[in-house]
A and B are shown apart, each in its own frame.
Chain A
């Protein structure tokens, strides 16, 4: 892992318009900013409906962002225009003026053609059986990506590539002629991974790649993803709701609640010293596979359910369920600030 920033997301918003409704609609992603370094794994956790999948897809522009900026490898691939953005140098650090204040500029609207970037940015989906076309053989599924990007010159070369991809993900080469339904869930997920790797990407969004799999298979896939990352120098955005898996695989973890990023930090640091009350409850809710420890510990149980993203609470979005909520939490949106080195959080109580 080097210090070069591969992907930078600035003030990203994604709203889904709801027919017949006034207002912005479903506010799925609200003002999210972060950067991922080359070779790093950034984990994203949160409850269902917190917008983590939408964020992953918006970064790849499978959903068009509503507002914000996405920079991949130094090139802006999306900018909604007219944003007040900090000027950054090549390393992603803020440029300061004479008085030491960060410089800002107005951005121009940019929306590049994504086809060349699809070779660099790929995605692995959650449900392996739903994301593979049932009427295509595994060879066709993997070959399609090779054809679209014209990666091989001859048919034999193409076949060789498919075979080598299959063996890379631990499948037999003769599996290329089979259909997805002939595989188990774990094998189907391996096909999904082979398809993502077919274009030799640099960055992969892993959208809950192991949630649909059995416990004994999950660790196989996790180990495989780790090996691939070491061999190919991949960068991952790893989305999952299982904190123990995310902590295991990630260098840093971002915690999302109702569309907003509430905490971001080094994964073991975040687990040991969580700052945001939501992160604390999330950590205490994870069942520990150790009878004595799990019975001895005190758990923070949240009241109620996650509010609707169509009509999110004012101020801090977590205040309706937060055990430490103060009057200010209802009124002002907390700023996303760096409290420790590399450990960011958005909470009024920390001030």
Chain B
């Protein structure tokens, strides 16, 4: 069990992030754990405010005040990321882990050309590279992400690019230092479905070529089904269910996951079926209720759910769910075994 870290690209254990606001402590991420192997694509699904972006920002060391990591560990290729010095962090960011953001317009600098920004990313991490080499590498990257007419495009500014093209530039910029892990924070949410399809195809293609690990943050379950190997479903700062993509879609073991799947109209449905929504509204993170945070919206809520936070129940092959229903099932099974 000693070499377990060597097979894992990223390991997060019991990560806790809180925001200390005038209204009190907001536990944006309240103890999440997962690991990611080389070349794996992990989807993180959740509503807005569920803490999925905060968790990504803490991996990148981009958390801003009043946000603070108050516990847990982040291990990247066996090294403790949280213990990095500022200089080490600069090397880590970009070189080993890159991030692409939801809105490509606000993430590109409007007063520099695309070529300028791409080569800047490269030269910031590699001081020895010559301007000509950096230019060559930037052209290669743009070619990789499918941009035509590159020499002209290199001299253009972000406003001259369409939304889909800007997102391609963002991906090129993220990949230019060949990172081992790419964090994609809702990269297709701001795009049209046809452009989203283009970007997803591109990311699948790049993932095959480069064998990098991807953390794909989204609220679109359709996108998850298409691109991810593993899925973590987040609700109110916790991972409520985790498993392979097939486990999550075909054997959902948490009422929230089930609710999400049932509340979506399916594009392959044969006829009209009324949607089954999850009633109620997301938790107010300033004053969360006791017990399971999903309990107020849960249709199978029990007495214990309102009092105690549920533990994880392992359902085999890395599939686990934090729900008292599963705990009860387990106990019943054990009783049956003892009796039988």
Which A residues form the contact surface with B (CB < 8 A)? 47-48, 184, 186-187, 214-220, 222-223, 226, 241-245, 247-248, 268, 271, 281-295, 299, 301-302, 305-306
Contacts and interface: CB of A to CB of B under 8 A. Distances in A.
B263 A305 contact: no
B219 A243 contact: no
B201 A301 contact: yes
A244 B267 contact: yes
Interface of B: 47-48, 162, 164-165, 192-198, 200-201, 219-226, 245-246, 249-250, 259-261, 263-272, 274-279, 281-282
A321 to B, nearest CB: 9
Pick the most buried of B246, B275, B276, B279: most chain A CB atoms within 10 A of its CB: B275
Given A288-B225, A290-B249, A301-B198, 9 more contacts: A214-B48, A215-B220, A216-B47, A216-B278, A285-B193, A285-B197, A287-B193, A287-B222, A291-B225
A281 to B, nearest CB: 6
B264 A219 contact: yes
B194 A245 contact: no
B245 A291 contact: yes
Contacts of B201: 299, 301
A271 B224 CA distance: 22
Contacts of A241: 192-193
Majority-rule SS of A interface residues? helix
B230 to A, nearest CB: 11
A219 B267 contact: no
A285 B281 contact: no
Contacts of B192: 47-48, 241
Given A216-B47, A299-B197, A243 B267 contact: yes
Contact of B281 (A184, A215, A293, A299): A184
B222 A288 contact: yes
B193 A289 contact: no
A287 B225 contact: yes
Contacts of B198: 301-302
Contacts of B194: 47, 281-282, 285, 301-302
Given A283-B267, A287-B220, A287-B226, A223 B165 contact: no
A341 B222 CA distance: 32
A171 to B, nearest CB: 11
A340 to B, nearest CB: 19
A52 B47 CA distance: 27
A35 B216 CA distance: 43
Contacts of A186: 281
Contacts of A215: 47, 219-221, 260, 263-264
B271 A268 contact: yes
Contacts of B224: 289
13 contacts: A186-B281, A215-B47, A216-B263, A216-B277, A242-B193, A244-B264, A248-B269, A248-B272, A281-B194, A287-B196, A287-B222, A289-B249, A294-B225
